[in-house]
Amino acid sequence: MSDATVDPRFKRTAPRRPMKLSWSDERVRAIFWQVLVVGIIVAIIWWLVSNTQRNLEVRRIATGFGFLQREAGLPIAEHLIDYSPTDNYLRALIVGVLNTLKVAIVGIFLATIFGTLIGIARLSRNWLVAKIAGIYVEVIRDLPLLLQLLFWYTILQGLPGPRQAMNPIDGVFLSNRGLLLPWIQWEGAHTAALLAAVIGGVLTWMYSRLMRARQMADGQPRRVWPLGLLLVLGLPVATWALLGAPFKPDVPSLQGFNFRGGMLMSPEYFALLVGLVTYTSGFIAEIVRAGIQSVQHGQWEAAQALGLKPGVVLKQIVLPQALRVIVPPMTSQYLNITKNSSLAVAIGYQDIVSIANTTLNQTGQAIEGIAIIMAVYLSISLSISLFMNWYNSKIALVER
Amino acid sequence: MASDTTLTPVTIPAAPIEARNAPISVVGPVAWARANLFSGPVSTAVTLALGYLIIRWAIGFIDWAFINAVWSVPNNQTQACRDARGVGACWAVVTEKHRFILFGTYPYEEHWRPALACVVFVGLYIVSAMRRFWRKELALIWIAALTTIGVLMWGGVLGMPYVAQERWGGLPITLILSTFGLAFAFPLAIMVALGRRSRMPAIKAICVLYVELIRGVPLISLLFMASVMFPLFLPEGMNIDKLLRAQIAIILFAGAYLAEVVRAGLQALPKGQYEAADALGLSYWNKTGFIILPQALRMVIPPLVNTFIGFFKDTSLVLIIGIFDLLTAGKTAIVEPAWQGFGVEVYITIGLIYFAFCFAMSKYSQSLETELNQHRRR
């Protein structure tokens, strides 16, 4: 309970009574209980810590994070930064964190799109569409994620080998080695173009804020999209062209017993991504549906009666109200994807849990290994929470 | 002149006009289909495309799952299954291994005991779901049922041979982990939720720290902690069984999440209820036990059931630390070379078991929600 709602008059009329050393004084009781509970907890922790210290001495297990500088010697199949088994544990763990982020970020992105589509489909006026979406949500949410991951992984492993790979579209191969997609040979110019797109996006955002401020001042709506399009698309294309417009397609092809070229999604990563996205989109669909349904019908009708176009009704009237209901539970789903990505260890995708687990098995330093896992997830969870809370406060209803 | 004219009586036809059926374009299946399936060109196209895909996939699935399926093979000769690879399912792996999947390595001739334990579990769930049993005696029923299950599983009395915990496996483990987890996590959650709303800063801080810490990390990290760190915590010579360690981790995990659900109920209760109880001069525990909790818990029953479903599914994570629950048993059943590669069939079967439990719970939660919200509807 916050004190903000307390009437100031009550504060004035309640003089502080002197504390009596008696059981009937509420403050004495409060202090007694707090001292008791804290004392018990401290005693338990002290007992556990002293046990642990003795056990560590008896078993001659080293403590501290010195092992991070030692050579890891553990092979990691997928790494976003350069890595070889001769690198130290610290680098191996960073590779693990990046792998976790890789699957979590892509998963959050895809699950949001997919879940929103299914949530809207559940409200479709077409009975068949609504029914299929409903069945999907019900079935997906009632099966354990781990079971689904193992299921997808088994299916991917059961696919034919590279020589009989499924080839639905030219340049796309699906085999037991994973999914191969055509890509381009990445060069500095592409990185620069990507950077330019980000800068263009930021500039567009600033421009639209400026235009909005001017509109607030004189009431004249202004077009943002022509310059925005130029900044977001034109700037990167221009950068890319200036740097010589390199473009070499990297289409995978079968050579001998394996593929060459292209971008490979390993079966482990692919199964984890498919499992996480299908599972979480079932939950997101329900959140989106509830959010849309929470906007009363009268809001649609009133907006239409004002003569607003359907697109404007959705953007200016319905979405802002629905988002207020959607964002808080969506935050916990994003946190869930991140935490659930730890199930990667069951199908052999080397995320932070998998690598930290190998580390603690190799070094025997269980406490440090688990502390690392927990610290990584706590900081990821905290960052997502902070960002989503900021976003939520931005869209929250401004009350008087 | 008008006064001279007499009104001539009009004869009204004796039989009233028969009520006619509404035209077929307004009611009936045709009208329904027009409104819900073919209401416009886009809708029609979507319906036709989806209908085509559903029929095609349904035929393909029926072919695979029933028509071309191999239902049993003579003593582990899986050649028939390998021949049917890709065109038909090999349910023989389930026929052959179902006892192992359900009961793990429990002694074969004693399988009736875990089976009976599962029946007791299901009975316990059904009794707990009925509103007429929602009173204090329910706690006694729970204690009796859980004791019965313990006796059945361990044995050692009534002529049943003792079975060590390491040999338990399959469905009973899943049910034990989730049910015992719940039975212990729920009281813990209530205490933590009350503590988080306490006016005593130290107690509040401890509860906040516990809840946020647990909710910030994945369950796996707690399970790893239970499997590799717990042994270090205990004094020498004292050893806790692996199953019990996992159970403690699940209780701690579930407690934090349930506490947040309970706290939502405590917050949703109008302040007047707290003030009225204070005005009556009730002590804190009387106020909480008689006024606050009964109302607050009732409000959050549907989200509580949803959280239970989540835990039931999450117990499958013990696979990662090598405890023999339903999913682990299924995964182990296909390790044998003869049965390798038939994982899909096994996972579908296990999925059906999980689905049956979770679907029942979710339907129950939905019906409860409508029932409990009846007074709000107008």
Q: Per-residue pLDDT tens for A173-195?
A: 888 778 888 777 777 788 888 89
CATH fold group of domain A89-165+251-395: MetI-like fold (1.10.3720)
Distance (Å, rounded) from C-alpha A236 to C-alpha B69? Answer: 55
- Residues in a beta bridge with A265: A179
3-state class (DSSP) for residue B71: coil
Residue B56 — very low, low, confident or very high, per pLDDT cuts 50/70/90? very high
3-state class (DSSP) for residue A176: coil
Digit-coded pLDDT (tens) for A324-341: 888 888 888 898 999 999
Quick one: tokens of B213? 């810490």
The ipTM is 0.86
List chain A domain ranges.
24-60, 89-165+251-395, 186-247
- Residues in a beta bridge with B90: B70
**Half-sphere CA count of B27, side-chain side, radius 13 A:** 4
pLDDT above 50 (res A316): yes
Length of chain B: 378
Q: With beta carbons less than 8 A apart as the criterion, state whether B257 and B210 touch.
A: no
pLDDT above 90 (res A274): yes
Q: With beta carbons less than 8 A apart as the criterion, state whether B238 and B248 touch.
A: no
Q: What is the mean pLDDT of residues A98-125?
A: 91
Please give the pLDDT value at position A8.
63
Q: What is the mean pLDDT of residues A104-122?
A: 92
DSSP sequence for A21-47: SSTT-HHHHHHHHHHHHHHHHHHHHHH
Q: What is the mean pLDDT of residues B82-103?
A: 79
Residue B100 — very low, low, confident or very high, per pLDDT cuts 50/70/90? confident
Q: What is the mean pLDDT of residues A160-179?
A: 78
List of domains in chain B: 28-67 (no CATH), 92-376 (1.10.3720.10)
Q: Which of A105, A84, A109, A111 is nearest to A95 (CA)?
A: A84
Write phi, then psi, for A260 (nearest 5 degrees): -130, 145
pLDDT above 60 (res A19): yes
**Which of A19-23, B11-15, B56-60, B104-108 shows the highest mean pLDDT?**
B56-60
Q: What is the mean pLDDT of residues A252-281?
A: 83
Q: What is the mean pLDDT of residues A211-234?
A: 85
Q: Is A346 touching B (CB cutoff 8 A)?
A: yes
Between the CA of residue B210 and those of A353, A394, B202, B205, B368, what are the distances in Å?
Answer: 22, 29, 12, 9, 31
Q: Is B306 touching A (CB cutoff 8 A)?
A: no
Q: Is B347 touching A (CB cutoff 8 A)?
A: yes
Please give the pLDDT value at position A1.
44
Nearest CA in chain A to B342: A154
Residue in this structure with the two tokens 């606050």, named with its chain if needed = B292
Does B39 sit within 8 Å of A378, measured CB to CB? Answer: no
Does A51 sit within 8 Å of B235, measured CB to CB? Answer: yes
A374 → closest Cβ in B47, B217, B344:
B217
Mean pLDDT, all residues of chain A: 84
Quick one: tokens of A91? 């680098």
Digit-coded pLDDT (tens) for B108-150: 888 888 888 899 999 998 888 888 887 878 888 888 998 888 8
Q: Which residues contact B39 (CB under 8 A, 6 or more apart)?
A: A125, A126
Helices (H), B217-342: 219-224, 230-233, 242-268, 271-279, 284-286, 293-299, 301-314, 326-333
Write phi, then psi, for A181 (nearest 5 degrees): -120, 145
pLDDT above 50 (res B86): yes
Distance (Å, rounded) from C-alpha B181 to C-alpha B251? Answer: 5
Residue in this structure with the two tokens 């579930």, named with its chain if needed = B254
3-state class (DSSP) for residue A278: helix
Helices (H), chain A: 8-13, 26-58, 89-122, 127-141, 145-157, 188-218, 225-229, 235-242, 267-294, 297-305, 310-312, 319-340, 344-347, 352-363, 366-395
Digit-coded pLDDT (tens) for B250-302: 999 999 999 989 988 888 888 898 899 999 989 888 999 888 888 888 888 88
Does A343 sit within 8 Å of B317, measured CB to CB? Answer: yes
Residue type, A348: G
Structure-model confidence comparison of residues A20 and A142, the more confident one:
A142
- Residues in a beta bridge with A166: A174
Residue in this structure with the two tokens 């579209």, named with its chain if needed = A169
CA dihedral sign of residues B230, A72, A338, B320: negative
Quick one: tokens of A89? 């544990």
Write phi, then psi, for A221 (nearest 5 degrees): -70, 145
Please give the pLDDT value at position A146.
93
Q: Is A20 touching B (CB cutoff 8 A)?
A: no
What is the percent of chain B with per-residue pLDDT over 70, rounded to a whole number?
96
